[in-house]
Amino acid sequence: MEKTVEEQINPDPENGKKLNPWLTIWYKPRATFRSAINNKSMKLAFILAMLMGMIELFDRAIEKNMGHHMSTVAVLVMIIVLGAIVGIVLWFIWSAISYYVGKLLKGKGTIQEMNIAIGISFIPLAVSGIFYILDIIFLGEALFIDTYLTPFQIIWLLISAFFVFILAVWSVFLMVKAIAEVHQFSAWKGLLTLIIPVIVVFILLGILLVLII
C-alpha cells in the first residue's frame, strides 16, 4: 500500500519511544529528534550547545596560536568558560533563524522544538571533543603555539583533523534533518532552510563591500 505524505516524511514507527540520542542519532536521526522533542530534552540540548561552543573556541585558539600570549591552563579555562557562553548564544541564534526561515517555507514546528532539535544535532561535535582531549595529551602546550612538532605529533594531528572534519560534516547533515523533522517537511526543504540565511548574509556582505569600496 502506498505511504501517505506524513509517513514518507516521518517513516519511523518508533517515534513514541524514548531513544538514547547518543546511540540512535547516527542511524535514526529523525526518530531521535522526535523522541528528544517529545521528551522535552532541553537540558541535554543546552549542554550540547555549550560543548559545541567550546569546540569552536578550541579551534580558534589553535589557529590564533593563543599559547604565545597566555599559559596553556589559561587558554583551556578561556575555552571552557567563554566557549560555553558563545555556544549558547550561537545555538539560540541559529535555532531562531532556522525556525523563522522554515516558517516562511510553511514549516509547522515551534521555537522550543527547534531549540531541542538543533541542540541534539551537535552530538557529533561533542563526540569530536574526544580528539581534542587526545590532542592536548599528545601535544601539550605545543598545540597552541607555532613550534616544531615530532613526526608522531604531525601524524596524529592529521588523523585527528580528519575525524573532526567528518564529525563536523555529519553534524551539519543532522542539522538539516533536525530542521526537516521540526517543521515536518522534506530534507530538501530542511537544506534550503539552512542555505537561505547563508546566501542572504553573503549578499548583504557583498553589497556592503561594494558600498565601502
pTM, two decimals, is 0.84
What residues have CB less than 8 Å from 50, skipping those under 6 apart?
A: 83, 84, 87, 88
Grid cell for residue 11: 517513516
Burial of 185 (0-12, 13-18, 19+ CB in 10 A): buried
Q: What letter would DSSP give residue 66?
A: G
Q: What is the pLDDT of residues 86-124, one digit of tens each?
A: 999 999 999 999 999 999 998 899 999 999 999 999 999
Whether 57 contacts 77, CB under 8 Å: no
What residues have CB less than 8 Å from 90, skipping those under 6 apart?
A: 49, 52, 53, 56
User: Cell numbers 569530536 correspond to what residue?
Assistant: 128
CA distances from 59 to 24, 122, 128 (A): 27, 16, 12
Q: What is the pLDDT of residues 22-72, one digit of tens each?
A: 999 999 999 999 999 999 999 999 999 999 999 999 999 988 888 888 888
Distance (Å, whole) CA 167 – CA 159: 13
